[in-house]
Amino acid sequence: MSSSTASNSSLVSGSVTNTVLTPPPHFERPTFLMCAPQWYDINYVINPWMAGNLHRPSRDLAFAQWKRLSHQLQTMADVRLIPAVPGSPDMVFVGHTAAVQHGIAAVSSFAHLQRQAEEKPIRRWLQDHGFLIWDTPRETAFEGEGDVLFDAEGRHLWAAHGVRTCRNCHRHIADAWQVSVTSLHLVDPRFYHLDLCFAPLAGGYVMYFPEAFDAASREAIESAYPAGRRIQVTELEAVAFSCNVINIGRSILMNTVTTDLAHRLAECGFSVTQIDLSEFLKGGGSAKSLVLRLSDSYLETTVAA
Ligand code: ARG
């Protein structure tokens, strides 16, 4: 891995940047970044869930729900905060601003202009906290943990394309950590990010909504995870963003589900805490998108919860 002062990397020759020379981050516990919903609102429509919900979220209720999530998360992990920025109402969904592993942060290059203002503050925060920065050119959109997720061991990357993130940057993103990558094609506009329909879980499990993917992608998932480790969600569960979960060891934090999914997860050894995140569903996101993992993923999958 090379360190350089270049502020941008091209698809051919990537480079990591740390001009500040802050010591690299070190985590003993799973650690997540959150951004308070101080400026959260729906001011524009960039996904089907936002349509009809312009200015509908209650900021007070959103704050209460976000705090509940944050308190619950703090019982099993450390939580850091990045200040919310006025004019970036979606910044609360901080999970899409980057993807992080081994102290290297691949910073997003948002597809929509409305979210591009989030890139500078996250880049600065990560750099100030010692992360090496991996950039992606503007021409190839990349939306952080919204569209790229590591397997439980942190050795393989699942990367989506079809709506937001561009397929052409998958290899470039995986090069940040020199890991293998599988591209998955999203085909249902309601599940415009991978984190809405696919969740690698501890213990080698995966939870996913098969219909959100094309046939080749379903096959790729099904050949990587044996049938006994696959937890398929129904459409009803998928539209409640049941795949958008925070998983630490055997604990799962998720939005409320009205079906038997919690029991199915319990049968696989997971203990589920449900938190009503209704105000964030209006913006098209849920538990997972409200956090950005900063520590290595193996800390989450090995910690006994
Ligand atoms: N309004 C945000 C967007 O469209 C919501 C992000 C939440 N998305 C998610 N994948 N969980 O970018």
Pick the CATH number of 26-302 from 1.10.260.40, 3.75.10.10, 3.40.50.300, 3.30.70.100: 3.75.10.10
Region 134-148 average pLDDT = 93
The pLDDT value given to residue 21? 65
The answer, yes or no, to whether any atom of ligand 1 lies below 6 A from the CB of 160, is no
pLDDT at 6: 31
Model's pTM, two decimal places?
0.90
Please give the distance, rounded to the nearest whole angstrom, from the Cα atom of residue 46 to the centre of ligand 1. Answer: 8
- DSSP E strand stretches across the chain: 3-4, 16-17, 31-34, 78-81, 98-101, 104-107, 132-134, 148-150, 156-161, 180-185, 198-201, 205-208, 230-232, 246-248, 251-254, 271-274, 292-293
Strand order in the sheet with 271-274: 246-248, 251-254, 271-274
Using one digit for the tens of pLDDT, what is the confidence trace for 97-119? 999 999 999 999 998 999 999 99
Q: Give yes or no for residue 50 having a pLDDT over 80.
A: yes
pLDDT digit string (tens) for 52-69? 899 998 999 999 999 999
Residue nearest to atom 11 of ligand 1 (CA): 285
Q: Sheet harboring 180-185: ordered strands across?
A: 148-150, 156-161, 180-185
CA of 147 to the centre of ligand 1 (A): 11
